[in-house]
Structure 1
Amino acid sequence: MKLKVLSASILAGVMSMACNPGKYEKSEHGITVNVTPTGENSVRKVRLQVMDDKIIRVSATPDKKFAPDNSLVTVPQKENTEYTVSETDSTLSVITSAVTATVSLSTGDVKFYDRNGKLIVSEAEGGRSFSPIEVEGTKGYTVRQVFESLNDEEGIYGLGQHQSDEFNYKGLNEELFQYNTKVSVPFVVSTDNYGILWDSYSLCRFGNPAPYKQLGQVFKLYDKDGKGGALTGTYVPAKVEEQTIVQREDSIYFEHLIRKELKHVVNLPQDFNYYGSHVTYEGEIEPSESGEFKFILYYSGYISVFVDGKEVVPERWRTAWNPNSYKFSVNLEKDKRVPLKIEWKPNGAVAYCGLRVYSPVDDKKQLDMSWWGEMQDQIDYYFIYGEDMDDVISGYRTLTGKAPIMAKWVMGYWQSREKYNTQEEVLSTLAEFRKRNIPIDNIVIDWLHWKQDSWGSHEFDRDRFPDPKGMVDSIHDMHGHVMISVWPKFYVTTEHYKEFDKNGWMYKLPVQDSIKDWVGPGYLSSFYDAYDPDARKLFWNQMKDHYVPLGIDAWWMDASEPNIRDCTDLQYRKDLITPTALGPSTKYFNAYGLMNAEAIYDGQRETNDDRVFLLTRSGFAGQQRYSTATWSGDIATRWEDMKAQISAGLNFAASGIPWWSMDIGGFCVEDRYVAAAKEYLKTGKETPDMKEWRELNTRWYQFGAFAPMFRAHGQWPYREIFNIAPENHPAYKSVVYYINLRYDMMPYLYSLAGMTHFNDYTIMRPMVMDFTADKATRSIGDQYMFGPAFLVAPVYNYGATSREVYFPAGSDWYDFYTGKEINGGQRLSVAAPYERIPLYVRSGSIIPFGPAMQWSDEKPADIINLYVYAGENGEFVLYEDENVNYNYEKGNYAVIPFKWNDEKQTLTIGERAGQYPGMLRNRRFNIIKVSKDHPVGYGRENKGVEVAYNGTAKTVKL
């Protein structure tokens, strides 16, 4: 790769020149360049604003002036940054101590350079476009901005959390909108050490700016008899006495419910019983060009896709009420007809299936980075430079807000299910954990704890929960915490709905269209307008009046996309929540979850000093500042879904939001597992499906123990480990082992939580973040680092007892269980017995393990087992504070630094810095060295060199 270098003439340009108003205007924060427009909707003004030494905001507009600043995702910056301006005959440049941003005077295109003049990233020539759009009387632009690919080996990560198991987004396409299991965040970070934050709240597309096309728009279609114009659809019912339907299909696009009835799927045969049926679409497709065609498959039920006789999509499954999308690519030749076959087994009364496609794109153009936004005032994005990928994410949080430190109990184990229906179920479940000595910190009360007809009342159904305050007190007495499900949804009969509605803060169309939910006979409801600041205050005040007096510890903000109606087209979803207080939903579609989170965070911070915790099903740029964790939604109980959560979680972490969770075991359960669980309850026999169910949960728990949040949840069968398997079963033994290990790791975990706040650290880390120079890591999305020490390699294939792991060069690695050393820079097949996840520790790691505990703060860590992994120098900082309040913001915390000198084989325990009320002033460290010549697997009882510590620095020879 040839490096493009900033010319000496730019670097040597006249600094701090007098403002030339014909070319540009200079302000306190940057410059505005005036560009001669080449057309009616071409760029007139380009503005560069210096936010930080490493952060430049770029705005571009075809208008005569810029829109007012009103970013929802960024926070006010604390101080102005010094910069200078340089001019040549063709360019203007803004120069800081770290970066230079250069604007072409003729086109307005922007290029970014580092301090040495190396080109980092560049807007593509002619890559900016504006198309006028008007929605509900509000004018704006549909925009596109393309960045040239300077390094085809670059890795690009982020964009939130999606379910197609894609990892490195270089050259890929992703549509950015919010939906159950899909969380869109318009931010990416590159291995070339820069990030782009695209400041847009509308529907966006990364990569191809166009929507996917129907098959008939891209291919010539032929049915199974060779007749042109369509494929053959054959609908075979489950019952032999019902009629088989055969019809020609000019597209495979059965993705949305009919709007008015909201019962049937558009274009599918309406009088056909889909439950248990078998549907086949078959024929041939003929492309008019050669190349790689990118498909997107939308499905519920069981589905497989075959192209040219090859199974390009092995069988996948998704529940009928919550379809999924999956992407795949196929290379095809011009004018060569190839067979296409879709095998589909719907398993619901309503069924969904769709197959759409992108035509081939020139390889070079596909590698360019393209951002498209449906409705914006102008183009607005932030260029963020860093010394490494962590530094880029730090810049992102400088712009969008720090991540607060979660309470320590948040890092413990969470137990949930859909759902605990009574007070007795809640308390008996927590009591059972305590009885069995299985550590736990939190139990979750899901939806419908209210009366059936009272969604939004925030009142418990007293028939099932007779004493809510007493229940919460009992949870606290058992040293637990409780999170409760609160939706932004209100039945029209509730007083809370009426309180919003009289102020115009409820969305009208759901009521006008008589949209009823799935509860009982179906109830009429709507969602509140979270874009209105006064509506947000009311939302919190209603919670404060009803839930806070009970002592509820955490808030589960479900359906915060917002999800008023499943399985409808995007336009109707926008219609259901428009207008917002800020303008048409087309413009603000993606930011609802951010606004809703702000309501709770700001409200609770004004109410008490307890640390806020929100769990939300949607996420957006900046959400970390509201002490919010996002979970991956109502995913399925399939091995492929478990695997997809690895890359999904890693890209979400790379999106700058450190707290992420998933439903361990998957939420939506295949019928076969339900039947197996019922059979087991009846006979006590472990059927093949029950055996697989237990193994799936075991492997998922192993993975979940190394996620930022450790939380099990899902539909029936019950998700507590003692309801999954008996005590003598390897599934039970393995899950309990990893729950215990999670608590042993608490000093390490809580220190990482401190790092997320003070150092803008990322806990769940793509391998590429720590080993960016090792190009082999750029496409590894199925293993990761958990903090600086652990390499985690989840097992996601049924029956697997081994898996391949890549050990990056530059470090050596130790098997966590045996202490055996493995040299870096190689790919190995490693053992993965049923009860263990492959887990390795990087050389130079220092890991503090605490005492055995049943909850996160059961006892002080007065003795810490400090494992030191030799082979290279290492550092770690133990962070401690009061665990539950915000006094750390006032400086009330303590840190103890550790340094390992590998050459001298010495560990220095540094002087403790800081203090806080209740601080442990004297403790012991049991130091255990692990090395090639002294392999030691992890164990609570291992004996090493014991050192008494009172806050004064000590150096220990090991």
Structure 2
Amino acid sequence: MRNRKKLLNLLALLIFAACAEPPYQQTEDGVVITLYQRHKTDAQRIRLRVLGDELIHVSATPEDEFSGDSSLIVIPGLRTVPYTIADTGDSIALSTARLDVSVSKSDGGITFKDKAGRVILAEKQGGGKSFTPIEVEGTMGYSIRQLFDSPDDEAFYGLGQHQADEFNYKGKSEELFQYNTKVSVPFVVSNKNYGLLWDSYSLSRFGDSREYKQLNQVFTLYDKGGQPGGLTGTYESQALDWPRMVRREDSLHFENIKTVRNLPENFPLKGADVTYEGTIEAPHDGTYQFNLYYAGYVKVYLNDELVVPQRWRTSWNPNSYKFTSELGAGKKVPLRIEWKPDGGRSYFGLRVQTPQEADELDKQVWWSEMNKKMDYYFIYGDSMDEIIKGYRTLTGKSPIMPKWAMGFWQSRERYKTQDEILSTLQEFRDRKIPIDNIVLDWNHWPEDAWGSHEFDESRFPDPKAMVDSIHAMHGKMMISVWPKFYASTEHYREFDREGWMYRQAVKDSIRDWVGPGYVGSFYDAYSPGARKLFWNQIHEHYYPLGIDAWWMDASEPNILDCTDMDYRKALSGPTALGSSTEYFNTYALMNAEAIYNGQRSVAPDKRVFLLTRSGFAGLQRYSTATWSGDIATRWEDMKAQISAGLNFAMSGIPYWTMDIGGFCVEDRYVNAQLEYDKNGKENADLREWRELNTRWYQFGAFTPLFRAHGQFPYREPWHIAPEGHPAYQSILYYTHLRYRLMPYLYTLAGQTYFDDYTIMRPLVMDFQHDREVENLSDQFMFGPALMVCPVYEYQAQNREVYFPKGTNWYDFYTGRYIQGGQQLRVDAPYDRIPLYIREGAIIPVGPDIQYSDEKPAETIVLYVYRGQDGSFTLYEDEGANYNYEKGGYSTISFSYDDTRGILTIGERAGGFDGMLEDRKFVIVPVSKERPQAFEDEPQGKKVGYNGTAQTIPL
């Protein structure tokens, strides 16, 4: 019987082998491999597409055929390069000039190797793929999961911009969705010389595919009396008619507008004191991951240790913070949480995740909720810059921003009248504070007409004259345009007639926070017709005024704050492409396309500038920058912006900014400012507020876009502190410095297009072989020359700075020479940020100007920092149009030979209308033997230049 069974099995295999398709089929741009499918949810087909010598597109499906949907993030028309396909027996091998890729015939597992045979990246043995069927709104798809091996010394960067102050994502997890202050980009750069772009638009997770759980789903909970079943919750209020309440809590889940109702009924949250205490008992030994969700003030003690020092967020815009703890099985550990809600409605939650399985711990794991198939792109490069170049090859070049965008922007929530915005800009000019852009925020329209794109005549009587006046003061104006429309507006009806509005919010009569509350919703940016209409409405109402730039707020889309995920999806769908479950994360990308393509269609030679609160892979191709949303005014929030900005830069999108000073302000700062306005006295809270803003401006001057914005207290320098105050003086110093560095800055902007450069650079980009910088998130390079070390602790007068090895360094302010490869505690006085220049740097410095195009840089100071060979190529163009795309630009190269002590100024290449034919360079050498501080008017060797090459001995 047994032998007969063996024969039948063998016969079945022979029949299958005779009837089966060939194991692989070469295609026009790659190969498709057919696998034996043991289960219907196993991968049946694997496809490799060659998009470059170092770019491979991987697709997998359990179906007979691949779905025909096109990518939203990868640009069409990428051409393949020569490659070969070979059957090596147990695998199919694809080779390009730089890569060897093998696919196992047995399980579809893929391994990427360099030409020396070294493994760069490998899927987990067995392929690491899983497909779980999911049906949404009648459409079938799969929840997909991919697991890759990862060596112990690997590091991951990117994933967009998040607020938990995490930098290297090795061993960490991040949930990828869009929300105010959270921008998710499914792209990572590894220190192992590759990047991976995960092509999914749905809710996704990196590092751990599991969802966080409620405390009682993981732990045995005990109240403070030792009884099992829950923690002890104590609720106390300042309200006289509210008695102290004590009750047991089996979970801490008050995180959205539904679950917040689980708090005691009618409990007055403003000014309340809430304590949760007891013990937790873990089921297993290991590292448990906690996710704290909070609004108001919160502290967390675990095992009698303060694991979360006091944090704060405004009541309507909670934040998440992650921490971990080693817990032992069966051991009771004390837990105490002190929560002070800070508003009429505050949110709170604490969730947890059990230790990850050993074969997944510290690996690269991707999961997405709904896809038709699995798609990812492997990008190889010898440096992180090469990897980001490959990413932009796939997703699109980053156009050069208008030159004015590199200057200072002033914004406020909000300028309420035409006179306020004009008088503010005039005050900048009167005080000789450089500025290029002033911003008109939301609610400039009549109160009941959001989405009308009309101005409230009582407050803005002549919008065209307002914009003209801004231009007459040599300023630019950006305006806030939301994808939101009140149902009473004609613009809403124009969309709705075509089925281009998300209707759930109107159906549910959701009212916003304005006046009595008005009903409206967002348009469907996934519809090409809707995108054209959105631009046409802007073009008809705003564009004729001469407005220079567009601020796309709430582009997550944020139709309603603090909702659960299911309701968020209901509010933002269905989309023209499919369910909002499948297209959850890409709204901002579609919305940006509407404006970019719209403006270029009517004004093809005027540079587009967009600022958006959300983003996704490919955003850079639409000349779009992102800011970090409505962050809080706390020192920990300032620090978190450093790692947030660095990871966003590593996500391949070069232009990022933040609300300098934070957006949402603690009451103590508001009250301190109001008290000062009455009596002119600086109390302790105002003193801290001024120092916080000073440190934030110092940091902000060295981000790609330099922008102040926030709620009251106002962020104009004279509102922060009076003239003569060290805060005021420091803000002015760094604003002037920003403009003096304009030749350097604008060159970096040019490099983002021509060289796919990254302006704000984690140290690991330039010092990848220095292991000390892999987790260093509070220092960064600003271009190739400047190392920036922000100060983010109150009353700090010094800080630790690591000086990467492989180069030596100069102090910006003194010229003092510092040996690389060491950590030092350096001075950081109130008015100065620690700033260093790497050996071999050449920095061009222009004149002191009040706005970016006030005058050409007829004289440029060239600081040359000796000790290594160095180079820099100055880039210039007309600053406002797209002639650079047709060759309308010039470059001047500078190279320094340290051994000979000679600087060579190269022959000018190219040209453009209005280019300076003749100019002067003042050359200032800095060396260990002859230190030289950065000065406004340094002494140096003056050289005339008419475009011909010359050499200058130093």
Same fold (TM over 0.5): yes
Two-structure CA RMSD over aligned residues (Å): 0.8
3-state SS in 2 of match to 1:587: coil
Q: Does 1:683 align with 2:684?
A: no
Give the equivalent residue in structure 2 for 1:75: 75
State the shift of 1:245 in Å.
1.5
* Counterpart residue identity of residue 128, structure 1: K
Give the equivalent residue in structure 1 for 2:305: 310
Map 1:619-698 onto structure 2 (within 5 A). Answer: 619-698=615-694
Map 1:578-593 onto structure 2 (within 5 A). Answer: 578-593=573-588
Q: Does 1:135 align with 2:131?
A: no
Give the equivalent residue in structure 1 for 2:860: 864
State the shift of 1:239 in Å.
2.3
- Indicate conservation of the 8 Å contact 1:255/1:266, yes or no: no
Q: Does 1:514 align with 2:509?
A: yes
* Counterpart residue identity of residue 200, structure 2: S
Identity of aligned residues (%): 63
* Counterpart residue identity of residue 694, structure 1: R
State the shift of 1:240 in Å.
4.0
Q: Distance in 2 between matches of 1:294 and 1:720?
A: 41
3-state SS in 2 of match to 1:776: helix
After alignment, is 210-219 or 527-536 more displaced?
210-219
- Indicate conservation of the 8 Å contact 1:167/1:779, yes or no: yes
3-state SS in 2 of match to 1:365: coil
**Alignment partner of 1:705 out of 694, 701, 706:** 701
Q: Does 1:339 align with 2:338?
A: no
Give the equivalent residue in structure 2 for 1:261: none
Map 1:790-829 onto structure 2 (within 5 A). Answer: 790-829=786-825
State the shift of 1:642 in Å.
0.1
Give the equivalent residue in structure 1 for 2:826: 830
- Indicate conservation of the 8 Å contact 1:593/1:616, yes or no: yes
**Alignment partner of 2:409 out of 391, 409, 414:** 414
Q: Distance in 1 between matches of 2:592 and 2:247?
A: 48
* Counterpart residue identity of residue 145, structure 1: Q
Q: Distance in 2 between matches of 1:735 and 1:366?
A: 46
- Indicate conservation of the 8 Å contact 1:172/1:366, yes or no: no
- Indicate conservation of the 8 Å contact 1:257/1:266, yes or no: yes
Give the equivalent residue in structure 2 for 1:211: 211
- Indicate conservation of the 8 Å contact 2:214/2:352, yes or no: yes
Q: Distance in 1 between matches of 2:372 and 2:865?
A: 54
* Counterpart residue identity of residue 57, structure 1: H
Give the equivalent residue in structure 1 for 2:560: 565
Q: Does 1:750 align with 2:751?
A: no
State the shift of 1:117 in Å.
1.1
State the shift of 1:266 in Å.
3.4
Map 1:376-395 onto structure 2 (within 5 A). Answer: 376-395=371-390
Give the equivalent residue in structure 2 for 1:469: 464
Give the equivalent residue in structure 2 for 1:10: none
Q: Does 1:56 align with 2:53?
A: no
* Counterpart residue identity of residue 486, structure 1: V
After alignment, is 903-912 or 704-713 more displaced?
903-912
Map 1:152-163 onto structure 2 (within 5 A). Answer: 152-163=152-163
Q: Does 1:776 align with 2:777?
A: no
Give the equivalent residue in structure 1 for 2:883: 887
Q: Does 1:284 align with 2:279?
A: yes
Q: Distance in 2 between matches of 1:237 and 1:244?
A: 7
Map 1:312-391 onto structure 2 (within 5 A). Answer: 312-362=307-357, 365-391=360-386
State the shift of 1:69 in Å.
4.0
Q: Distance in 2 between matches of 1:76 and 1:887?
A: 24
Give the equivalent residue in structure 1 for 2:6: none
Give the equivalent residue in structure 1 for 2:424: 429
Q: Distance in 2 between matches of 1:290 and 1:105?
A: 38
3-state SS in 2 of match to 1:398: helix
Q: Does 1:439 align with 2:440?
A: no
* Counterpart residue identity of residue 776, structure 2: I
Large movers: runs of 4+ above 4 Å: none
Q: Distance in 1 between matches of 2:948 and 2:116?
A: 43
Residue segments in structure 2 that go unaligned for 5+ positions in a row? 1-19
State the shift of 1:365 in Å.
2.1
Q: Distance in 1 between matches of 2:358 and 2:900?
A: 52
3-state SS in 1 of match to 2:148: strand
**Alignment partner of 2:842 out of 840, 843, 846:** 846
Residue segments in structure 1 that go unaligned for 5+ positions in a row? 1-19, 259-263
**Alignment partner of 1:952 out of 933, 936, 948:** 948
TM-score where L is the length of structure 1: 0.97
State the shift of 1:577 in Å.
1.2
- Indicate conservation of the 8 Å contact 1:51/1:77, yes or no: no
After alignment, is 914-923 or 363-372 more displaced?
363-372
- Indicate conservation of the 8 Å contact 2:400/2:753, yes or no: yes
State the shift of 1:460 in Å.
0.7
What do residues 217-252 of structure 1 show as CA deviations (whole Å, max 9, x unaligned)?
A: 111100111110100111101124421121111001
What do residues 353-385 of structure 1 show as CA deviations (whole Å, max 9, x unaligned)?
A: 100011112455221100000000111000000
Q: Distance in 2 between matches of 1:21 and 1:934?
A: 75
After alignment, is 687-696 or 206-215 more displaced?
206-215
* Counterpart residue identity of residue 871, structure 2: E
Q: Distance in 1 between matches of 2:688 and 2:943?
A: 47
3-state SS in 2 of match to 1:804: strand
- Indicate conservation of the 8 Å contact 1:77/1:399, yes or no: no
Q: Distance in 2 between matches of 1:646 and 1:233?
A: 36
Give the equivalent residue in structure 2 for 1:257: 257
Q: Distance in 2 between matches of 1:748 and 1:281?
A: 53
- Indicate conservation of the 8 Å contact 2:51/2:78, yes or no: no
- Indicate conservation of the 8 Å contact 2:908/2:947, yes or no: yes
Give the equivalent residue in structure 2 for 1:15: none
- Indicate conservation of the 8 Å contact 2:588/2:614, yes or no: yes
- Indicate conservation of the 8 Å contact 2:253/2:260, yes or no: no
Give the equivalent residue in structure 2 for 1:146: 147
Q: Distance in 1 between matches of 2:812 and 2:631?
A: 30
Q: Does 1:616 align with 2:609?
A: no
Q: Distance in 2 between matches of 1:36 and 1:78?
A: 31
Give the equivalent residue in structure 2 for 1:226: 226
- Indicate conservation of the 8 Å contact 2:487/2:520, yes or no: yes
* Counterpart residue identity of residue 788, structure 1: P
3-state SS in 2 of match to 1:125: coil
3-state SS in 2 of match to 1:731: helix
* Counterpart residue identity of residue 224, structure 2: K
What do residues 766-815 of structure 1 show as CA deviations (whole Å, max 9, x unaligned)?
A: 00000000010000001100000000000000000000011000000000
State the shift of 1:684 in Å.
0.3
State the shift of 1:116 in Å.
1.2
State the shift of 1:270 in Å.
2.2
Q: Distance in 1 between matches of 2:415 and 2:361?
A: 49
Give the equivalent residue in structure 1 for 2:32: 32
3-state SS in 2 of match to 1:897: strand
- Indicate conservation of the 8 Å contact 1:193/1:388, yes or no: yes
Q: Distance in 1 between matches of 2:925 and 2:504?
A: 65
* Counterpart residue identity of residue 318, structure 2: P
State the shift of 1:153 in Å.
1.1
3-state SS in 2 of match to 1:700: helix
Q: Distance in 2 between matches of 1:785 and 1:116?
A: 32
- Indicate conservation of the 8 Å contact 1:403/1:627, yes or no: yes
Q: Distance in 2 between matches of 1:651 and 1:238?
A: 42
Q: Distance in 2 between matches of 1:850 and 1:392?
A: 32
**Alignment partner of 2:730 out of 731, 734, 742:** 734
* Counterpart residue identity of residue 750, structure 2: G
TM-score where L is the length of structure 2: 0.97
* Counterpart residue identity of residue 188, structure 2: V
* Counterpart residue identity of residue 282, structure 2: P
